[in-house]
Amino acid sequence: MSNIPACPQCTLENTYPDGDNYVCADCGFEWPIAASAEEDDGGDVVKDANGNVLTDGDSVVLIKDLKVKGSSTVLKMGTKVKSIRLVGGDHGVDCKTDSGNFLLKAEFLKKV
């Protein structure tokens, strides 16, 4: 088993070191080796679609329309969500909108 991390963008494990960076052979994404080592020590870090670190209480904006499972509700792109809360698990952001409370993935959010 290799100690090279999976790609943070596409989450595939086809990555390799190249100089000071890791490179994903599938999507071409590059990220610094030093930053990966810091993240491993720091625990779970939740980042938005642009790579900005999210913290409790931040305001975010949806970057695409999201259909809500089991409902006809659609969360529209550009919807601003205030005072998010970070939680563990696959959907790392708990938030409250006019349509209700939702758990969202950080990859569909942009920090404001």
Q: Which domains does the chain have, with CATH numbers?
A: 1-43 (2.20.25.10), 60-111 (2.30.30.40)
pTM of the model: 0.59
* Per-residue pLDDT of the chain in tens (112 residues, 90 and over written 9): 467 888 888 888 888 888 888 898 888 888 888 765 555 545 578 889 998 999 999 999 999 999 998 889 999 999 999 999 998 878 889 999 888 899 999 999 999 9
* Secondary structure string (H, E, C) spanning 50-109: CCCECCCCCCEEECCCEECCCCCCEECCCCEECCCEECCCCCCEEEEECCEEEEECHHHE
Quick one: tokens of 13? 């494990």
The answer to whether 48 and 109 are in contact (CB under 8 A) is yes
The neighbouring-strand residues paired with 109 are 62
Residue in the block written with tokens 């090279």? 4
